[in-house]
Amino acid sequence: MYCSSGAGLACGYIVVIYIRRTLIFERMKYHFKRILLLTIFFSFYKLSQSQNTPSPYPQNYFRNPLDIPIQLVANFGELRPNHFHMGLDIRTQGRENLPVYAAAEGYISRIKIEQYGYGNAVYITHPNGYTTLYAHLNIFYTALADYIKAKQYKEQSWAQDFELPAGLFKVTKGQFIAYSGNTGGSAGPHLHFEIRETKTGNNLNPQLFGLGITDKQPPVIYKLFWYDRRYSTYQVPGNPITITKKGTAYTVAGNIVKVNSPVISLGITAEDINPSTPFNMGIYAATLWMDDSILNAFKLNDFSYTDTRYLNGSIDYSKYIKEKVYVQYLAQLPGNQLKIFDADVSNGVIILADTIPHDVKIAIKDVYGNISVLGFKIQLQQPFSNYLFPANAQALLPEHENIVSGKNVKVQFSKNAFYDAVPFVLSESAATNKNSASPMIGLHNYTVPVHDLFSVQIKTSLAANNPLKNYVVMQLTSGRSKETAKGKWTGDWMTASFKKLGNVQLLIDTVPPTITPIGWKNGGILSSAKTLILKCKDDLDDIDSFSATLDGKWLLFSANNDHYTYRFDEHCTQGLHTLTLKVTDIAGNTTTQNFTFTR
């Protein structure tokens, strides 16, 4: 085994993989099997180019949810920050308020209204065992909108997430259900459409159901990388390999890749191309062969939102964070539990037990069966490279609970936290912010992903009886993003939870949020206005709560990012009115402000 003696536990972890895979790659009858496999491969490739595998899902059962031809902005499985895209984003011609229709008969089974995420969303359960979802909507159809509005006023809450009984709102195929919009976590007007299996809740690739979309163009392969898997993928960067295209096939320069590690894995950057849209999208499936074995295969279909964050273990996360380039691994990291991989093949780690060239094939496929193939040879060469395990690092392993502690910090990670071994470095330094209430804690490196919430305890520098402790928050800076939490005190220690690594500290926040009218003035006449909009911001935290009353009665405002909107209705009659707003930030600072206007 070619491993630095300083690699410690992380190196030992890789040794086990190496020994296990070496036994599998025993090479008796090598040449005969290689010829046989290549014959099978090219037969499969030729067949797949001429016909598509029949879809296991009903065809033409679901209709286009819009009354314009489907033009996609994004497809299922497209790579997004911290998740795979779980449906189709359908263009709405750059406009809002296009009619949205039920894709099939059924009943409205759930409504979700949120500031981010889906925004306004409708779920329809169908009698064939599937559920469709329509998101980023503006306005629901009248009967449904009236029902939701009554519920919001009764509960005095704009945000909603509730289920509905089967007989309350039945729909027929093609029935109008809402107008499209740009609500929630949307960067532009479009309709987000999903198909789920009702029993499991798993998201399915909608293009497998037909929907009238055609595509005869194969995916495009841009780049190839190899990784030294004697070490953690978070210790050693990927090595780029130049690829070229000859006709319909891809290869590498010189047709051979020489590597200086006997244990490697591969990654690619690739996109799907569809002639009906200018947007490039995510691939559907990939298969990796070496000589006589399929080493890895995955297919992006049939998994849930619970597991979509495993995207971070399916890509070169560090490269994405640094360069905004997605490299999809053709190997399954030890802590990646996403159920997209073929369970009957290996994990994609390549063991080179000799120095002869070996044939490698990578097939990339879209949902319509169009395939692109990258073929080349790979050869082990010496001398082998070696990387030292950082002297001040602690090896945190996947599938193990891990605890890291220092003088002023304690951090606890679950067994699902990491996808690969992490050479974790903890640091503590003096605070530089005038509002700091603790040292600055460095939690390793923000370019290493964490799968689920981990707890952080930080000891404050404030005295036990200091009243400012009531206004302390914990803030994490991860690259360019910041996240703030109102933690819980246990003596001098505050505990909060995050999903990213970076720098974290305790901060004192005594500044309340600001409230700014948008497009109107206090005391103004709003007789012709259709909406009343406010912007609510805080200098450090997010807005934790917002409430409004009109002449002492609760008033319904919708939220979209930092804008809060009231649509004039029967709750605001003609005459002079007093609007009272109460906005609170995460630290607990509250701004209460009165406005008057005449309707």
- Domain count of the chain? 4
The CA–CA distances, whole Å, from 524 to 107, 415, 516, 521, 533 equal 44, 58, 14, 5, 13
Four-residue CA torsion sign, 178, 182, 186, 192:
positive
Q: What is the pLDDT of residue 384?
A: 80
Alpha carbons 441 and 450: distance in angstroms, whole number: 17
Q: What is the pLDDT of residue 385?
A: 77
Lowest mean pLDDT of 51-60, 295-304, 329-338, name the range: 51-60
pLDDT at 118 over 60: yes
Q: Are residues 240 and 375 in the same domain?
A: yes
pLDDT at 447 over 80: yes
For residue 184, tell me if it sits in a domain: yes
pLDDT tens digits, one per residue of 534-587: 999 998 888 999 999 999 999 999 998 899 999 999 999 999 999 999 999 999
Number of Cβ atoms within 10 Å of the Cβ of 324: 8
Burial of residue 482 (CB within 10 Å: 0-12, 13-18, 19+) is: middle
- 102-109: average pLDDT: 98
Domain of 589, CATH number, reads 2.60.40.1220
Q: Which residue has the tokens 């499936």?
A: 285
Alpha carbons 578 and 549: distance in angstroms, whole number: 8
For residue 136, tell me if it sits in a domain: yes
- Percent of the chain scoring above 70 in pLDDT: 91
pLDDT tens digits, one per residue of 253-309: 889 999 999 999 999 999 998 877 778 899 999 999 999 899 999 999 999 999 999
Q: Are residues 140 and 238 in the same domain?
A: no
Distance, C-alpha 499 to centroid of its chain = 12
Encoded tokens for 193? 């459409």
Distance, C-alpha 370 to centroid of its chain = 26
**Structural domain harbouring 547:** 514-598
For residue 529, tell me if it sits in a domain: yes
Lowest mean pLDDT of 25-34, 158-167, 434-443, 590-599, name the range: 25-34
- Percent of the chain scoring above 90 in pLDDT: 81
The one-letter amino acid at 277: T
Q: Are residues 189 and 317 in the same domain?
A: no
Lowest mean pLDDT of 18-32, 95-109, 237-251, 331-345, name the range: 18-32
- 494-502: average pLDDT: 98
pLDDT band for 19, please (50, 70, 90 cuts). Answer: very low
pLDDT band for 49, please (50, 70, 90 cuts). Answer: very low
Alpha carbons 112 and 544: distance in angstroms, whole number: 19
Give yes or no for a contact between 404 and 426, defined as CB atoms under 8 angstroms apart.
yes
- 34-61: average pLDDT: 54
For residue 83, tell me if it sits in a domain: yes
Q: In whole numbers, what is the pLDDT of the chain averaged over residues?
A: 90
∠ Cα 142 147 150 (to 5°): 120
The CA–CA distances, whole Å, from 402 to 13, 454, 474, 500, 501 equal 15, 10, 21, 15, 14
For the chain, give the longest Cα–Cα distance: 92
Q: Are residues 354 and 271 in the same domain?
A: yes
Q: What is the pLDDT of residue 53?
A: 59
Q: Are residues 357 and 316 in the same domain?
A: yes
Q: Are residues 366 and 403 in the same domain?
A: no
Q: What is the pLDDT of residue 520?
A: 96
pLDDT at 24 over 70: no
Element (H, E) at 563: strand 563-567
Q: Are residues 365 and 450 in the same domain?
A: no
Which of 508, 538, 559 marks a domain boundary?
508
pLDDT at 21 over 60: no
SS3 48: helix
Q: What is the pLDDT of residue 273?
A: 87
Q: Are residues 372 and 401 in the same domain?
A: no
Which of 483, 508, 533 marks a domain boundary?
508
Q: Are residues 365 and 227 in the same domain?
A: yes
Give yes or no for a contact between 288 and 297, defined as CB atoms under 8 angstroms apart.
yes
For residue 386, tell me if it sits in a domain: no
Element (H, E) at 226: strand 220-228
Q: What is the pLDDT of residue 247?
A: 78
Task: Tell me the backbone φ, ψ of residue 341, rounded to 5 degrees.
Answer: -90, 145
Domain of 474, CATH number, reads 2.60.220.30
For residue 153, tell me if it sits in a domain: yes
For residue 56, tell me if it sits in a domain: no
Alpha carbons 264 and 353: distance in angstroms, whole number: 12
∠ Cα 318 321 325 (to 5°): 90
- 409-427: average pLDDT: 97
Q: Are residues 220 and 198 in the same domain?
A: no
Lowest mean pLDDT of 394-398, 429-433, 484-488, name the range: 429-433
Q: Are residues 248 and 277 in the same domain?
A: yes
Which of 194, 209, 224 marks a domain boundary?
209
pLDDT tens digits, one per residue of 188-203: 999 999 999 999 999 9
Considering the entire predicted model, what is its pTM?
0.88
Lowest mean pLDDT of 363-377, 378-392, 423-437, 501-515, name the range: 378-392
Encoded tokens for 95? 């406009």
